[in-house]
């Protein structure tokens, strides 16, 4: 497993403190061992760190084990009262890390199941020290190997192949892996723009549901346009903040879908909006049973973006 880099190397900086975010759900078998492995790896390298374990409503002894280790290791336990999913667990950990960190610090995310080797942390933060914004521990990088069970390997290869076709981010080979490092100032800026929505799976799951429907009907798969996602999220945020629900926005320069898309460097021809749905999949279902929205879902568009704010949803389509 090697590192791939996102972002042009800019100003190099030296790491001050490393924050490690570990989502954990029923991980009593591996979480304590993982925390000890992290400490045994980083202490000899004189890398100061703090591990933030997000217990996502575990029903086993995960939280108790972490609390015990927190008396001897630099570990903090964050808890969800019930299971909210890996996306929300990541968001909780990243939001806390961004709040605690100084701009020159680094933040690493790893799975809490003890399935990743902490030995790669140094390689990742070296990439940040050289000016990268994000470094990803990718088994798809040249010369890397995939030390996981065959079933997980097949699932990951399939998911990454699909996402490379849909998302097409330059320089990114691994879309599904959680093992990655971020410059703290990058996440702090994201938090200022998006609040606690630093990580959200809703847009992706909604678009995945739409493409599943289109494929069953023999229609082409829509590519995920991350700029359209940002424009859609921005319109949802405006509807929430200003108390309106319409395609025509009262905000100058953002009155139409086309104007809103242009502000984010892309284009849009059609738009769906919804209110009250708890997930992207629910929003897709609501639009499916509305004739005008239904036509947009099955249109000849090539790109799509989906974004939410509160219970407001916006979906934008581009040619």
For the segment 111-129, the average pLDDT, to the nearest whole number, is 88
Q: Which residue has the higher pLDDT, 269 or 138?
A: 269
Statement: residue 201 has pLDDT above 60:
no
End-to-end alpha-carbon separation of the chain, Å? 37
CA distance 183 to 133: 6
Q: Lowest mean pLDDT: which of 94-108, 128-142, 224-238, 257-271? A: 128-142
The DSSP result for 199-257, as a single string, is: S--HHHHHHHHHHHHHHHTTPPPPEE-HHHHHHHHHHHHHHHHHT--SSS-SSTT-SSH
pLDDT of residue 204: 60
pLDDT at 233 over 80: yes
What pLDDT shows up at residue 30? Answer: 93
The pLDDT > 90 percentage for the chain reads: 40
3-state secondary structure 243-309: CCCCCCCCCCCCCCHHHHHHHCCCCCCEEEEEECCCCHHHHHHHHHCCHHHHHHHCCCCCEEEEEEE
Cα dihedral 227, 231, 237, 243, rounded to 10, equals -170
Q: What is the pLDDT of residues 136-187, one digit of tens each?
A: 775 444 444 445 555 444 444 444 444 444 444 444 444 445 788 888 887 7
Q: Is the pTM of this model over 0.75?
A: no
Q: Which pLDDT value is given to residue 268?
A: 93
CB 31 within 8 A of CB 55: no
pLDDT level of residue 88 (50, 70, 90 thresholds): confident
**Token pair of 236 as six digits:** 């949802």
Mean confidence (pLDDT) of the chain: 80
Q: Is the pLDDT of residue 194 over 70?
A: no
pLDDT tier for residue 285 given thresholds of 50, 70 and 90: confident
Max Cα–Cα distance, the chain, nearest Å: 63
Average pLDDT of the residues in 194-207: 57
Question: What pLDDT sits at residue 138?
Answer: 59
**For the purposes of burial, counting CB atoms within 10 Å of the CB of 292, is it exposed (0-12), middle (13-18) or buried (19 or more)?**
exposed
Sign of the Cα pseudo-torsion (92, 95, 97, 100, in order): negative
pLDDT of 105 over the 70 cut? yes
Residue 140 has what pLDDT?
A: 45
The tens digit of pLDDT for each residue in 51-81 reads 999 999 999 999 999 999 999 999 999 999 9
Under 8 Å between Cβ of 74 and 51? yes
Query: Among 52-56, 204-208, 233-237, 269-273, which is the least confidently predicted range?
Result: 204-208
pLDDT at 72: 96
Q: How confident is the model at residue 191 (pLDDT cuts 50, 70, 90)?
A: low
């Amino acid at each position: 497993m090697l590192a791939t880099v996102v972002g042009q190397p800019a100003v190099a900086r030296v790491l001050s403190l490393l924050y490690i975010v570990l989502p954990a759900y029923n991980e009593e078998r591996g979480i304590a061992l993982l925390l000890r492995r992290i400490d045994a790896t980083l202490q000899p390298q004189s890398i100061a760190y703090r591990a933030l374990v997000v217990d996502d409503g575990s029903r086993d002894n995960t939280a108790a084990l972490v609390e015990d280790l927190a008396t001897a290791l630099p570990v903090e336990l964050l808890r969800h009262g019930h299971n909210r999913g890996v996306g929300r667990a990541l968001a909780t950990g990243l939001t806390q890390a961004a709040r605690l960190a100084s701009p020159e610090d680094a933040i690493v995310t790893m799975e809490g199941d003890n399935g990743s080797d902490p030995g790669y942390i140094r390689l990742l933060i070296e990439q940040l020290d050289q000016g990268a914004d994000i470094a990803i521990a990718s088994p798809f990088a040249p010369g890397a190997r995939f030390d996981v069970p065959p079933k997980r390997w097949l699932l990951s290869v399939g998911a990454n192949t699909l996402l490379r076709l849909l998302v097409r981010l330059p320089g990114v080979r691994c879309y599904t892996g959680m093992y990655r490092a971020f410059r703290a100032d990058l996440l702090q800026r994201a938090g200022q723009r998006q609040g606690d929505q630093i990580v959200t799976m809703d847009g992706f799951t909604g678009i995945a549901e739409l493409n599943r429907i289109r494929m069953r009907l023999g229609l082409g798969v829509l590519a995920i346009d991350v700029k359209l996602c940002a424009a859609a999220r921005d319109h949802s945020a405006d509807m929430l903040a200003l108390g309106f629900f319409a395609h025509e926005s009262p905000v100058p320069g953002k009155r139409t879908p086309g104007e809103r898309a242009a502000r984010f460097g892309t284009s849009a021809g059609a738009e769906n909006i919804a209110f009250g749905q708890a997930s992207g999949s629910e929003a897709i279902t609501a639009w499916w049973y509305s004739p005008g929205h239904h036509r947009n879902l099955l249109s000849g568009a090539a790109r799509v973006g989906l974004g939410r704010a509160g219970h407001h949803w916006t979906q934008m389509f581009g040619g």
